[in-house]
Chains A and B, each alone.
Chain A
Amino acid sequence: MSESTLHLTADVLVIGGGPAGCWAALAARRAGASVVLAEKGYVGTSGATPPANTTLFYTVPGDRLQNDGMVDHRVAPAKGFIVRDFVRRVYDETTVNTELMTRWGYPWPRNETGKTFRGNLRGPDYMIFLRKRLLAEGVRILDHSPALELLTADGVAAGAAGITRRTGDRWEVRAGAVVVATGGCAFRSGVVGTHNLTGDGYLLAAEAGARFSGMEFSGQWALAPAEGGLTKGIIYFSGSFSDADGTPIPHPGVPDALAAGRSVHAVLDRADPYLEDGYRKGQPNIFVYFHRLGGNPFTDRYPVRLLYEGTVRAAGGLDVDERCATSVPGLYAVGDATTREKLTGAAMSGGGPAVAWCIASGTWAGQAATAFARQFAAGTAGLAGRPVHAIGGAGLRPAANPDPERTAEAVTRAVQQEILPLDRNYRRTGAGIAAALERLDGLWEAARDGLAPPAGATPRDIVRAREAAALVATARWILASAGQRTETRGLHRRADFPGLDPAQHHHLLSGGLDRVWVRRADPHEEAVAA
């Protein structure tokens, strides 16, 4: 396989082409920046959005009842941390950008009153629409081009380097600012849309010194039909559950029943024909499973399972300020890659709030990154001449001799065995967390020292090794944070501390690679306590 390196310069480099990355690229371009967007897969199909239909929260201008209702809806389940003014700004920014979509020709559906309804975005339609807009605005898209590591100049993010998966060619983008838009991490659990979401952006940001918040709020599991991977939850508002014998199980009891090894069946028996039509014509992806394998979910019971969605639909992620800057100069983060605690607290961030957050955070980060990049006024010639260092470590540059037994597949499986088993992870114990962390610390050292693509590695091998290192690192931030929160709150559940402790309404920041650290931080002064 021939190998050459594509060298590019841009004011702003965006890593990841899901909705948040696309909005960041659009905002930066519209603010006058030159923009490269590098995506591991294909912009338009990659990430959690394209296979799904996503709810979108937004404010209707001038309707205070609607605005307050939208903002307050998630306050109770949040169990703290929500900042109402911040949520309001996110939804207001979303409305402004949906107006842009209207101007660009988005074919909104209409409700019974004939007004446009913007509360659902069909994934593939929305993402291809954004892809076309990126191209129209002059964003340079690199498809199938995973970023492997950051470039830094004196501690400032200065670009990234990666590989082109289909050819093996390398790429290097020197940039004035970098936006991480790599989504959350679901540990290859099998959830549709999450196969590419392996924490890559967390790892490359952490190597530059970025920190995380709320990684313990990541116990997000969702229902899928027993043999499928699509975890759309909205239909279960019209569902009933029962065990193998038909004994009813209340909805909140379903996860514990599955964790205890009971079989659970669902049926969508609480939808009238008008609503059934809404589901079928609004969310056709849900019904492909039944259409092709048989059975009518509105009348026939079907077995379900829980799949881990991790930080994709949860709360934890990179800690960012109000302009989406991380703690590393020149490095911004958006969408599911960031913490969403101010938006949805300790609870699930999907769908509507997180989808709005992708739009708002992308917009704010694109603008802020453009402003940051202006200091390199010499333009792209100045950027190209800046001395930079490639800072990637584990999975990319082994610290000792490569260990042929330490394959990406073996490392990935070992991480999954710690994070994915429902019985040990839906409700965790301090002892279980400590034991898992000890094993993962050993796995990290072994991976750091010996995990490397094999001789004659394909581009896929190279990417898989780096992904495996990212999975180990992510699992450690999650479990180290979970060990420090001795209560149950939102998506953090402790079997040994089943109640919420009002004294623990604080954030847990985390970070570090060889030595993982966790420390407390006060919530925003406007945060609503649980």
Chain B
Amino acid sequence: MIELILSERCIACGTCAKVCPDDVLRTDAAGEPVIAHKEDCQTCYLCELFCPVDALYVSPRTAPDPTVDAAALIAAGLVGSYRRELGWARGRPGGTETDLSYRMHEAFTEPFGEIWKRSGI
């Protein structure tokens, strides 16, 4: 679930509230995001992904996470870690071209692994 909005990093661009697929995030009068309906958060990390300044943190726990500690998460490099793993930057897609998923498909038991090895175009 969404756990942190790091207001010292937030630039009030409104993107997270715009892209949230539900009503979890809204913007206040100053344009800053607020968690409006945490219970609707589906832990999709997409607000994090689209945030241009790594100002949000979603815990992988689908229930409220009492262990979240902003300073510790920042120190451990975990704020923004998903977008870095994907290769996204400043809220923009990147990294698809380095996807190695073909390896898992080609590893399937015979004969399907062989079929996938023939599936380049």
B-binding residues in A (CB < 8 A): 40-42, 44-47, 50-51, 53, 55, 58, 60-61, 63, 65-66, 69-70, 73, 95, 98, 106-120, 122, 124-125, 128-129, 143, 165-166, 190, 192-196, 225, 227-230, 234, 237-238, 271, 274-275, 277-279, 281-285, 287-289, 291-293, 460
Contact = CB atoms under 8 A, between A and B. Distances in A.
A73 B112 contact: yes
Nearest to B37: A460
Interface in B78-121: 78, 81-82, 85-86, 88, 93, 95-108, 111-112, 114-121
Contacts of A279: 103-104
B31 interface: no
A344 to B, nearest CB: 15
Contact of A42 (B20, B26, B60): B20
B44 A45 contact: yes
B101 A124 contact: no
A282 B104 contact: yes
Contact of B115 (A73, A95, A115, A288): A73
Given A50-B46, A190-B62, A109 B96 contact: yes
A287 B60 CA distance: 10
B101 to A, nearest CB: 3
Given A111-B106, A190-B62, A283-B104, 14 more contacts: A42-B19, A69-B111, A69-B114, A111-B117, A115-B121, A117-B101, A122-B86, A192-B44, A228-B43, A228-B62, A238-B107, A282-B104, A289-B60, A292-B59
A508 B19 CA distance: 39
A456 B84 CA distance: 43
A126 to B, nearest CB: 8
Q: Chain B interface residue count: which class?
A: 35 or more
13 contacts: A46-B21, A53-B101, A60-B119, A98-B121, A108-B96, A109-B96, A192-B42, A192-B44, A194-B42, A237-B108, A271-B107, A284-B82, A460-B23
Contact of A66 (B59, B60, B78, B118): B118
Contact of A196 (B22, B95, B96, B104): B22
B38 interface: no
A112 B119 CA distance: 11
B18 A288 contact: no
A166 B114 CA distance: 49
A87 B115 CA distance: 16
